[in-house]
Structures are given as C-alpha cells and as structure tokens.
Amino acid sequence: MVPQSAYTAFVSWVQGAKAVFLFLFAHPAAGAENRKEKKQMKLNGSQIFVEVLAEQGVDTLFGYPGGAVLNLYDELYKNSDRIHTVLTAHEQGASHAADGYARATGRTGVVLATSGPGATNLVTGIATAYMDSVPMVAFTGNVATTLLGRDSFQEAYIEGITMPITKHNYTVRRVEDLADTMRAAFRIAQQGRKGPVLVDIPKDVTAAVCEFTPKAPELIRTVTSYNEEDVKKAAEMINAAQRPVVYFGGGVRSAAGCQPLRDLLEKAGMPATYTLMAAGVLSYGEPHNLGLLGMHGCYTANKAIDEADLVIAVGTRFSDRVALNPDTFAKRAKIIQIDIDPSELGKNVAVDLSLTGDASYILQAILPYVEKTEHKLWMEQIRQWQKNDYKPVDSDTELKPHQMIAEICRQAGPEAVYVTDVGQHQMWAAQYLHHTKSRGFLTSGGLGTMGFGYGAAIGAQMALGRDARVIMLTGDGSFHMNLNEGCTAVSYGLPIITVIFNNQVLGMVRQWQTTFYGKRYSDTDPHRHTDFVKVAEGFGAKGYRATTPEEFKAAFADAMKQQGPSWIDCRIGKDEKVLPMIPGGGDINDIIME
C-alpha cells in the first residue's frame, strides 16, 4: 500500500505539472530563450489580467482604451484569438453592452475603461446593473500608485464613487494581489444576489511582474438558509388558500431555473402576475399568466392581488412601482416572501412568512407538500375581471403602439430578443409583447435609465450571435441619449432593428403633466428636428420612416432582410398614453383606464 503522505505528494506534483503544461500550451509562441521564465510563471500585470479573464471563461470584453489601460489593451491585442474586444462610441455604451450581454445569457458581462472620465462614464451603467441585480465586472485603469491622491491628470477615486452602486469594489495596489482580486470579483458578481463589482487597476500594477499560478474558477455556492419547517408551513398556507396569487420578479429569472415556478402554478392551479423585470418568464397567453402588475399593469392583475387571500412573492422586492401604497397592498392576504437577499425580506411590505435562498431550490422544496388543486371559482372570477381589462383602439390609418408591437411579434417570431430604453415605449412593450423566452426581454427597471437600450442591444447581439434576432424598442427622447452607438452597430455589422416610437415629445413625463400638472408642458416638447433616417444613413445604417400601419409593416419586413443595423422612425401621436395607470401612492381603486 502506498503511504498516504506519498500519495498526497504525488497528486500535488501531478496537479502542478498539469497547471504548468496548460499554461505553456496557452502560450505556444514562447521561445526557448524565455522557456525558463514561463515555467516559473513570471508574468506582468497585463498578462495576468488576460490569463484570469480567460480562466473565468470571458470571451467578450466591451470598452474604450486610454492612457491608464494601454498596457492592458496591448496584451488584449496579443490575445485577440482568445478574447474578443468590442470598441463602443462611449464608455456608458460599453457598460450597457456588458449589462445586455449578461442579461441575455446569465453569464458575467465585462467592461474596461481608462481612468478619470473613462471610469466615471461607467457609473450610470454600473448603477443600472446594480439596481437590476445583473452580474457584471467593471475594470478601470488609474494613475500609478505613486500618483494616487495627488489630483493627477485623469485621476478619479472611482472606488469611492462606486461604493454605493456595487456589490463590492477594489483598488489593486500590488501586482501580487491582482489575480485573486479578479477571481473574487467574478465570484461575488454571480454569488447570491447577483450584481456588479468594480476592480480599479493603477497603471504601474499592469506593468509590474510577479509569479502567477493558474486556477480553475471557483464553484458558486447556492444561498439557502431556509429550513424544512418553513417549507412545510409555506405549503400549508398554499393548500389552505382559496384565492392564491403568485407575484414574481426578476429574482426568478436570475435563479437556477424557472420551471419550478411553472410547476407550482400548474399543481396548485393558481394564477401569477409579474414585475417589469420578470416579463417573459411566463409565455404570453399561458392560462396562469395574468400579465404585468403595478402602476401600468393590467386591471385583472392588480385586482387579483387586492382580492387575494394569499400572495406568494418570489424573487421580488415590493418596489414602489408595484406596491404603490404599501399600507393597502394585498391588504386581504397573508404574504409569503421568497428571496435570495435577506435584506429584502419584509423591507417594503410586512410579510407573514419569509424564506431566504435561490427561488428555484425553495420552490422545488415546497412542491412535494403542495396538494393538486384547481381553484375553479377563483379562476372563474379572474376570467370575469379580464373582461374589464383595458383594450386599446385599433386604427387603419394611424400608427398605434399596440398594433406596431403586434406586427413586430408576428414578423420577428417567438425566439426574438427585445430590448427597450425607458419611457412610454417601455411600458407598451411590457404590456403587448408576446414574450416566450425568460431572457427575451431586456430593460432597465430599477434605475430607469434612458439611453440603456442601444448599448444593451449590442451586448445581446454580440452574446447571442448574428443569427439571433434582436429588436430594440425606443422613444425619440431616450434614443437621443445614446444613438451614438449606431456607429458601433455598423462597425461590427450587427443586424439590430431599432423601432423608434417618435412622438417628438418626452412622452412619459408629458403624460404625467397632462394628468397631474394641469397640462403645463414644461420642457417636454424639445422642438427637435432630428431626421433619424438621415442620421442612420450617416452612420452607415439603413433608415426607414413610417407614418401608417402599412408603411410600418413594409419597413419592418425589409429591415428583417438587412445584414446590418436598421432604424425605423415611426411617427405616433404625442397624446398617446400608457394605460391603465395607477398614480403613485394609489391602489386599484384609483386606476385610470381612459
């Protein structure tokens, strides 16, 4: 028998030899003259940066070069066969692209920017990812460690700036700490409630040399702190309910899987409603799907929550756009809340039972204890309420948002991925898109970032490939903020179709001014004369203009044939409204339907 100590030593030797072999194999160009150095794994910070990215499975990096990150970009150039870099028009666009990449795939998005203004231009994108729990790692360059804190050229204290909008952030002051700091960033971005992490790397760290040891990516631990008694109690509450409703949010999309939610709805025979961040988890037209909940949610969904005797809140935080009045939200119901983040439990609305952990695993644990039920009377009542849902009026001559979206769905098909900016078009998209994919609707929910859409669409298209169908829905107000990324879409030949709901006003704010501010339209009519068709052509994209349903149908059909990006300027009425609407602080009794 081989002694245990000898066996352990042998295994360690084999693992070490394997690591060295893998590293050398990844660097076939290494000559005999530096073979000894490679065996010792001596690398500079830029080489370590690339090695850890590859180690973590990163295949695409979005960003913009600058002085503080020249060493990093030089090394990325040498490794372009391993990691694809995408140059955007602006660092904010790069951050949104990394975000869109992550939302479309579930993988961690990566963005790189230089110091000072390059780093601060990422802030809005990082905050957007933070509010929507999107896994992203942002790398920024900085001045050399000897210049930190001296108001040096293009210096910014980005670690302090981003502290409130990241899960964690770091400034790497020693090259010896770089690899493990990067590894920790990728782990933190994905573990528990997902979110962005920032790593700031001074320029001298990218040039300094130290020993490097390859490591496999860490296994992400599943957060579960619920107990069996709570699981049984939740099932008992579900079995006892006569009017149950599941209300779920983006945490379901981020969970290990969505199927346990569908299994629960089927087994317990109960309906479900969702937040903006969870649109698409349930396919359009599913019998259990009540539609969107909250300020611009449908009447039936809001009425069902108001009349329910049990609400099972899964992966959602009772935001002020859903629980508009926390004191009256689901006032007749007991509430079970399931969330991976314990800080969200009972934070906005008092709950009767809370369970912490990945929604998928908790629902799987509950399912065996749930009785097979149909709740026929409750579902019949819901069908009656659905007769009162808001129904927009069609037109044969004017462009109507709901008809445009129906035509988009018909032509783009069930596998399309839809990306939105923020405003009226975003709400129309959430209301009328025929969602069939859990990651098929990408939008800025928590922060509500105008200008999010085009960068995110670029990230999604890059992640999914040119054969994927990505549709970007925007308003003229939002699109003006980041339409400069049109040059990025053209440069990379991305067939993104952009549909501009152009009412020539800031529609959502104007709608509020109409309803609550006596039609005092303060700075919501910008009097812009932008010709989006000419701007598209100036970038090298295909431009269309549509003023009637027939023109839009033809324009969209032609855009579907293009190999590069297309913009369709759709002229809609400035008085088109997003309905229904419940004012902030109101409830179902305050709903506006016309």
Q: What is the mean pLDDT of residues 349-373?
A: 96
Spatial CA neighbour of 535 closest among 575, 570, 484, 459:
484
pLDDT (0 to 100) of residue 40? 53
Paired sense of beta strands 566-571 and 497-502, if any = parallel
pLDDT, average across residues 79-95: 98
Predicted pLDDT at 39: 45
Model pLDDT, residue 16: 41
**Six-digit token string for 428:** 């129309």
Under the banding of pLDDT at 50, 70 and 90, the label for residue 479 is: very high
Beta bridge partners of residue 44, listed in sequence order: 209
Return the closest-CA partner of residue 251 out of 195, 307, 180.
195
Active site residues: 91, 153-154, 203, 508
The three-class DSSP label of residue 560 is coil
State the Cα–Cα distance between residues 432 and 403, nearest whole angstrom: 9
Model pLDDT, residue 30: 39
Residue 35 has a pLDDT of 38
What would the pLDDT profile of 168-206 be if each residue is shown by its tens digit?
999 999 999 999 999 999 999 999 999 999 999 999 999
Q: Mind listing the domains of the chain with CATH numbers? A: 37-211 (3.40.50.970), 228-386 (3.40.50.1220), 401-571 (3.40.50.970)
Rounded mean pLDDT of 122-138? 98
Please report the pLDDT score of residue 20 as a whole number: 36
Q: How far apart are the first and last CA of the chain?
A: 84
| Residue from 538, 444, 483 nearest 100 by CA | 444
Does position 12 have pLDDT exceeding 50, yes or no? no
pLDDT higher at 373 or 40: 373
Which of 25-39, 239-253, 314-328 is the least confident region? 25-39
> Residue 301 pLDDT > 80, yes or no?
yes
What pLDDT score does 15 carry?
Answer: 39
Query: Do you find a cis peptide bond into 326, omega within 30 degrees of 0?
Result: no
543 beta partners: 567
List CB contacts of 81: < 8 A, sequence separation 6 or more: none
pLDDT tens-digit readout, 510-557: 999 999 999 999 999 999 999 999 999 999 999 999 999 999 999 999
Average pLDDT score over residue span 335-352: 96
Confidence band (pLDDT; 50, 70, 90) for 226? Answer: confident
Q: What's the confidence (pLDDT) of residue 106?
A: 96
Distance between CA atoms of residues 469 and 418, nearest Å:
9
**How many of the other CB atoms lie within 10 Å of CB of 486?**
24
Task: Provide the pLDDT for residue 285.
Answer: 83
Two structure tokens written together for 111? 């963005």
Banded pLDDT at 220 (limits 50, 70, 90): confident
- Residue 471 forms beta bridges with which residues? 418, 497
Peptide bond into 3 cis (omega under 30): no
Kindly state the average pLDDT of the residues 80-90: 98
- The rounded mean pLDDT for the chain is 92
